[in-house]
Amino acid sequence: MKKIINRPEDYTDDMLRGIYAAHGDAVKYAAGDLRCYCTAHKTPGKVAIVTGGGTGHLPLFLGYVGEGMLDGCGVGSVFQSPSAEQIFQISKEVEAGAGVLYLYGNYTGDIMNFDMAAELCEMEDIETRSIVGADDVNSSTDPDKRRGVAGIFYMYKCAAAKAAEGGTLEEVFAAAQKAKEYTRTVGFALTPCVLPELGHANFTLEENEMAMGMGIHGEPGIWNGPVKTADEIAAESLETLLQDMPLVPEDEVALLINGLGATSVEELYILSGSVTRLLQEKGVKLYRTHVGEYATSMEMAGASISLCKIADEEMKRWLDAPVCTPFYCQK
Amino acid sequence: MKKIINRPEDYTDDMLRGIYAAHGDAVKYAAGDLRCYCTAHKTPGKVAIVTGGGTGHLPLFLGYVGEGMLDGCGVGSVFQSPSAEQIFQISKEVEAGAGVLYLYGNYTGDIMNFDMAAELCEMEDIETRSIVGADDVNSSTDPDKRRGVAGIFYMYKCAAAKAAEGGTLEEVFAAAQKAKEYTRTVGFALTPCVLPELGHANFTLEENEMAMGMGIHGEPGIWNGPVKTADEIAAESLETLLQDMPLVPEDEVALLINGLGATSVEELYILSGSVTRLLQEKGVKLYRTHVGEYATSMEMAGASISLCKIADEEMKRWLDAPVCTPFYCQK
């Protein structure tokens, strides 16, 4: 294992101390617990949005807390869920009179703890609603069982914009729901990552092998085989995406090419170029393209392709709304 | 070699096609040459700033072209210089009546070609001045012979802010010069990267070996040895930086923790926390901290630490000026 760290067991808290030291003007922690990550700027009357999940996916999840985006994030250990108590403490801190939306990935531990936190909130008369991202097409044929991956960015963006516009909890939930309905992701890995406390990769890939459909915690994909070209990967991924969410000429989409960690930004743009060309050949219009690291697996090599079909003008406004967190700024 | 690419020989141009397709509202190319990368929004009367260098370092160099930052970038092949003709064509395109500042890294091929481009400009009565970034302390004891690495970000930021304020070519040059004078960098690598057309790493590091002082093209550093902890790396790096640029209590600095590509953002924040703690122990104040990928070597693992000593209030204003390029936004 080659990592720039101190004690492996301090990985998450050392990271958090670094983040608070760098961005103390924007974020703080609640209840004396580093893992109760909150915006430093509460907006009275706004629906608060709280997310959460394991460490190891930056900028997911905590990186989306900030101006125009989310209000709090429960930070778990590497690839582990935050506790119900932590999510509850964050909710109490960021709740601003209009209720709290829980918006996170479709993972068992997270669901259990967010549900328990919602019960704790209910006892204190804090209203909550919950929705999970479940955009990873290859993870299940059943949309309800799909894992949440990079496509949750569009749910964050739409829900946060609606909240900033003064939407009610129900309306903010509906905005997240609309983004969820229109977003699909396909991902693939080229190398594994190493969990700091394990010290070795939890799976292996051969010298020239890739894993199509692998999850961001190394969950098995749908095939392992020789690394394909960017054009081939784009074609196969788009076929998967469009089988699940058909597009016709003149449809508009937002495209997110996400790097899993070790893959260079140069390669992400090569892949983005391949996907864009194929979409244009189908007569589909690109409304906005995001390329970079949005949801990683530490130093895993690989990428994901997310499409968010533009549902209406309202969604365009949400996607275009300016935001600025310590990890992600959009003008 | 595991990369998401098509033909290795198309790496740079495929990447550029992807970038133009994604960000056609912000950037364009001049003279029918993809590698003549220019802002799409020329500001009449402003000093134009042109940079350039080899591909493989995104967001360096072209990623800093955009609103509030640079105006053009000559794009070379992987780790190679752009041509004099390309730099000249870019200069003609972006020149807006107030001359052109050439601001790039201290590498032989780049110097030769930017100097030739300056001569071509002179023949067409376009005034130019040139300055190179040379912040990599471990690359030479002679400051004039040092390589330019991530610290060039501060030169870009200060020069661009001065240009946006309406500064003359001489004043914009002086802003870059001031940032150069007050900026130092130390970098280190944990793994090599693979040049697409070579297909293999151009050096090797053992299973638990790091290279202190290694350059962003794999230039040898000052020692190879077992990977140290984040705290140890921070302490040794700071000692090197402060020997070259002493700091006393109450001095203020901007800190840039830059990832070389494969290193996770989590680790960068762990390192940032270590550096911040040591600076605070010395009574040095952190004015602003940037953490992320600012100058990479494709999928090389490693990082660099840059300090920019705050010279005066003017420099704070320059560092704080909002900018937004397709690769880097700061509010």
What stretches in chain A show pLDDT beneath 50?
Answer: none
Q: What is the pLDDT of residue A181?
A: 98
Q: What is the CATH number of the domain that holds A48?
A: 3.40.50.10440
Residue B189 pairs in a beta bridge with B211, B302
C-alpha dist (Å) from residue A1 to A164, A297, B62, B131, B236 = 43, 15, 33, 40, 21
Task: Please answer yes or no on whether A11 and B227 come within 8 Å at the CB atom.
Answer: no
A210 contact residues in B (CB cutoff 8 A):
2
Q: What is the pLDDT of residue B201?
A: 87
Task: Please answer yes or no on whether B262 and A266 come within 8 Å at the CB atom.
Answer: no
Number of Cα atoms under 13 Å in the Cβ half of residue A68: 18
Task: Look up B217 and say whether it is catalytic.
Answer: yes
Q: Tokens at residue B259, please?
A: 């990832």
Q: Are residues B22 and B166 located together in one domain of the fold? A: yes
Q: Are residues A168 and A189 located together in one domain of the fold? A: no
Instruction: Report if residue B15 sits inside a domain.
Output: yes
Residue of A nearest to B25 (CA): A288
Q: What is the pLDDT of residue A303?
A: 98
Q: Are residues A166 and A205 located together in one domain of the fold? A: no
Task: Please answer yes or no on whether B231 and A6 come within 8 Å at the CB atom.
Answer: yes
Query: Could you say which of B153, B181, B209 is where a domain stops?
Result: B181
Q: Which of B20, B15, B44 is nearest to B30 (CA)?
A: B20
Residues near A246 by Cβ (< 8 Å), separated by ≥ 6? none
Of B6, B327, B330, the CB nearest to A231: B6
Of B17, B286, B299, the CB nearest to A264: B299
A4 contact residues in B (CB cutoff 8 A):
190, 227, 230, 233, 263, 267-268, 270-271, 303
Q: Are residues B113 and B188 located together in one domain of the fold? A: no
Q: Are B266 and B25 in contact (CB under 8 A)?
A: no
List pLDDT tens digits, range A28-67. 999 999 999 999 999 999 999 999 999 999 999 999 999 9
Q: Which secondary structure element, helix H or strand E, spans residue A316, and what is its range?
A: helix A313-320
CA angle B76, B78, B80 (to 5 degrees): 50
Q: Tokens at residue B19, please?
A: 């970038």
Q: Are residues A56 and A177 located together in one domain of the fold? A: yes
Q: Are residues A298 and A165 located together in one domain of the fold? A: no
Q: Are residues A166 and A248 located together in one domain of the fold? A: no
Query: Could you say which of B181, B213, B229 is where a domain stops?
Result: B181
Q: Are residues A164 and A74 located together in one domain of the fold? A: yes
Q: Are residues A84 and A138 located together in one domain of the fold? A: yes
Instruction: Report if residue A320 sits inside a domain.
Output: no
**A274-287 as b/e: b if 16+ CB within 10 A:** bbbebbeeeebebb
How far is residue A101's CA from residue A163's CA, in Å, rounded to a whole number? 10
Task: Give the three-class secondary structure for B62.
Answer: helix
Task: Please answer yes or no on whether A18 and B263 come within 8 Å at the CB atom.
Answer: no
Sheet of strand A209-212, all strands in order from the earlier edge strand to the far edge: A223-226, A209-212, A183-191, A301-309, A252-259, A285-292
**Quick one: CA dihedral A218, A221, A226, A230, positive or negative?**
negative
A271 contact residues in B (CB cutoff 8 A):
4, 18
Q: Tokens at residue A290, please?
A: 């995001």
Interface probe for B, chosen from A25, A206, A266, A288 (most Cβ of B below 10 Å), is A266
Range of the domain at B284: 183-317
Task: Please answer yes or no on whether A4 and B299 come within 8 Å at the CB atom.
Answer: no
Query: Could you say which of B161, B181, B201 is where a domain stops?
Result: B181
Instruction: Report if residue B192 sits inside a domain.
Output: yes
Q: Which of A91, A118, A64, A140 is nearest to A330 (CA)?
A: A64
Task: Please answer yes or no on whether A4 and B55 come within 8 Å at the CB atom.
Answer: no
How far is residue B251's CA from residue B244's CA, in Å, rounded to a whole number? 15
Instruction: Report if residue B323 sits inside a domain.
Output: no
Residue of B nearest to A12 (CA): B266
pLDDT by 10s per residue, chain B, length 331: 899 999 999 999 999 999 999 999 999 999 999 999 999 999 999 999 999 999 999 999 999 999 999 999 999 999 999 999 999 999 999 999 999 999 999 999 999 999 999 999 999 999 999 999 999 999 999 999 999 999 999 999 999 999 999 999 999 999 999 999 999 999 999 999 999 999 988 789 999 999 999 999 999 999 999 999 999 999 999 999 999 999 999 999 999 999 999 999 999 999 999 999 999 999 999 999 999 999 999 999 999 999 999 999 999 999 999 999 999 999 8
Task: Please answer yes or no on whether B5 and A270 come within 8 Å at the CB atom.
Answer: yes
A291 contact residues in B (CB cutoff 8 A):
18, 22
Instruction: Report if residue B328 sits inside a domain.
Output: no
In the A/B pair of chains, how many CB contacts fall below 8 A? Answer: 195
Task: Please answer yes or no on whether A298 and B15 come within 8 Å at the CB atom.
Answer: no
Task: Please answer yes or no on whether B265 and A293 come within 8 Å at the CB atom.
Answer: yes
Distance from CA of B121 to the nearest CA of A (A): 31
Instruction: Report if residue B325 sits inside a domain.
Output: no
Count of the separate structural domains present in chain B: 2
List pLDDT tens digits, range A218-240. 999 999 999 999 999 999 999 99
Q: What is the CATH number of the domain that holds A280?
A: 3.30.1180.20
List pLDDT tens digits, range B105-114. 999 999 999 9
Instruction: Report if residue A227 sits inside a domain.
Output: yes
Q: What is the pLDDT of residue B303?
A: 98
Interface probe for B, chosen from A2, A35, A75, A293 (most Cβ of B below 10 Å), is A2
Interface probe for A, chosen from B10, B186, B191, B266 (most Cβ of A below 10 Å), is B266
Q: What is the ipTM metric for this complex?
A: 0.98
Q: Are residues B84 and B200 located together in one domain of the fold? A: no
Task: Please answer yes or no on whether B274 and A6 come within 8 Å at the CB atom.
Answer: yes
Q: Are residues A92 and A165 located together in one domain of the fold? A: yes
Distance from CA of A10 to the nearest CA of B (A): 9
Q: What is the pLDDT of residue B203?
A: 84
Q: What is the pLDDT of residue B155?
A: 98
Task: Please answer yes or no on whether A267 and B5 come within 8 Å at the CB atom.
Answer: yes
Instruction: Report if residue A331 sits inside a domain.
Output: no
Residue of A nearest to B7 (CA): A229
Which ranges in A124-168 belong to alpha helices (H)? 152-164
Q: Are B86 and B37 in contact (CB under 8 A)?
A: no
Cis bond upstream, residue A59 (ω within 30): yes
Interface probe for A, chosen from B2, B35, B62 (most Cβ of A below 10 Å), is B2
Task: Look up A41 and say whether it is catalytic.
Answer: no
Q: Are residues A52 and A174 located together in one domain of the fold? A: yes
Task: Give the three-class secondary structure for A142.
Answer: coil
Q: What is the pLDDT of residue B258?
A: 98
B27 contact residues in A (CB cutoff 8 A):
none
A225 burial (CB, 10 Å; 0-12 / 13-18 / 19+) is exposed
